[in-house]
Structure 1
Amino acid sequence: MSAAAPPPPPAAVPPPPAAGGLRRPSGHLATVWSNTASISARRWSPLRSLLSCREIDHTAARRQSRRGQHSLSARKERRDRRGDHRRAEMLAVFDQTVAKCPEGLRSPPAAGGAAAGGGGAAALMKGFAAANDAAVTVSLGAAGALAYSSANKNPLVPRMFGSVNDIFCLFQGHVENIGNLKQHYGLSKTANEVTILIEAYRTLRDRGPLPASQVVRDLSGRFAFILYDTVSKSTFVAADADGSIPFFWGVDSEDHLVFSDDNELLKAGCGNSFAPFPKGCFYTTSGGLQSFEHPLNELKAVPRVDSQGQMCGSTFKVDSEAKKDSGIPRVGSAADWSNHF
């Protein structure tokens, strides 16, 4: 007796229509559709994870940035409460016999205040040494003193000190055309900015083929320097045309002319008789303050007012209408003796 035939399989229930009235394919097409959907899901899954991670990273970065800003603000507030500021790194104090204070730099005393800080040169040097553990002080006798710090040097604007044949030079910055200057003054390849400045000054002092304004104008770069010649008892101070190096000057209660890179030090030692050193200018004992960019023009003092409305030194600017006497008599003038013959 033969076995009964198996019952036929139940009919497959068709899937519900998809959005838009489309039906999910059946049979072989259903398999292909399922595989395609699986592949698409696998392809989009890493992208979704990546986008999610990036969103998390951006959120964390924003939070870190806000925390950093709050931290910087807190540190600044603490520093302001303590009265901290950048330390002075160079200082020069000259007696009035070798560096006379220009007219206009000294300001009248503020209401209820002293004309200048007390203590004079000794107090300035003592304060500089107390604020800098690596301070080096060079006494110039009755002419004054130099001081600098040998620590915390910036490689982009190095600070250097040197002396050759009783000529002392304190330099901060960087000269870009140092190679051309070495060749011009006949110096070795190992010469640095201090050596070049001292040689340039010696050439100017002994032979004088160029005016002092040309010597400073030949320096290309960021710089501020203080030079003192103990033989001729002369000073030579200059700053670049852009004022790239913080540099100030003032006059203390003992009529000493003071130069430094720290305005707070000058404020303590000179009261309200200090100001930024004029850009593009140089100072010498014989010629006073001059502009090396406009050597034929006079400089005029413009009173400076601080944030509290008090007079605080003067800013010296080039007077485009005032010309210096060139020393050569004009034709027809009373000094022209050529028509006497």
Structure 2
Amino acid sequence: MLARRVSSTQSTASAAVAEDVGPNVLGFLSRQQLPATPQNYALGFLIVTNSEGLAARAVDAVLMNGDRLTSDDVGRILAAHGPKEEEKGESEDHAKVRRHTLRLAELAATAVEETGEFGRALEAEQTLLAGTVAIAELVATMIERSTRTETQLAKAAKQIEDLRQEVETAKGDAHNDSLTGLHNRRGVLARLQGMTPDQRPLLAICDIDRFKTVNDRYGHVVGDRVLKLVAASIKESCGQNFLARWGGEEFLVIFNGAVTPDEAFTILNRAREDLANRKVKLRATDQPLGLLSFSAGIARFGEKSLDQAIAAADALLYQAKENGRNQVLVED
């Protein structure tokens, strides 16, 4: 019963707020001699519920000149500052960037407004400078308004820097695989843009052996753990060579500089052996997971396109699977 009473009280309070908003919106429309159409009501609702928002500021800019709002004004203000359909369902990162952008607009508008007031004050007082006005008071007013403007601009600069950093972070995240922390396909393409053929002599595709069986038998939680473990193991063995998650249980290696086919084979074969020697157990039961291994194909890259090099490496990978898995093959 207590829970019901609390719910009833909250409902009554919400209804009271709604009852206050409705008459205030209609009062606003009446003062502006606007009919209570859905569009006009939407703007009135924004003004009543957020008197410091951008829509309210835009309305103030019209009313300051002694004018009333027109239907054209309403449409223009809603288009610029009303809720947008595309905002529904947006990602958390996009919402964060959007909030920062709106905050920047508010700060910029405030700074401009303060600067405008400062100019108008000078215009109003300039005829009195030769009269009896207290110069000290005028100067104090000028300094106060100038300080406020400077503070607002400093805040705007800080917001701009925060926004820049968030955009850079979002850009970096777009190049990374969220599960393994490795670069993804987009990250691979970004990496290749700055590489010349002699900087990318060889490419390899690695594929975890019998990974579907792991997922089917133990579930995707264990499967994700295996993917993270394999990624970390290969990365440790490959050192400074570029490693990315190419998709699913496949990993791509781009070897650096003057690495020869024999050296590339040594690196990946060591990675294969290191992984196979790991004793992996299920966390819940302490049961051994069994052999973890991968097969790989190493192909020449250099002057080839990415698609050509991957096709060659894939053919070798398929051959390694056909030969019994848990092995590395190199293009002649």
TM-score range, shorter chain: under 0.3
Higher relative CO (CA 8 A, sep ≥ 6), structure 1 or 2?
A: 1
Q: Structure 1 or 2: larger strand share?
A: 1
Normalising to structure 1: TM-score of the pair?
Answer: 0.20
Normalising to structure 2: TM-score of the pair?
Answer: 0.21
Q: Structure 1 or 2: larger helix share?
A: 2
State the structure with more CA Rg: 1
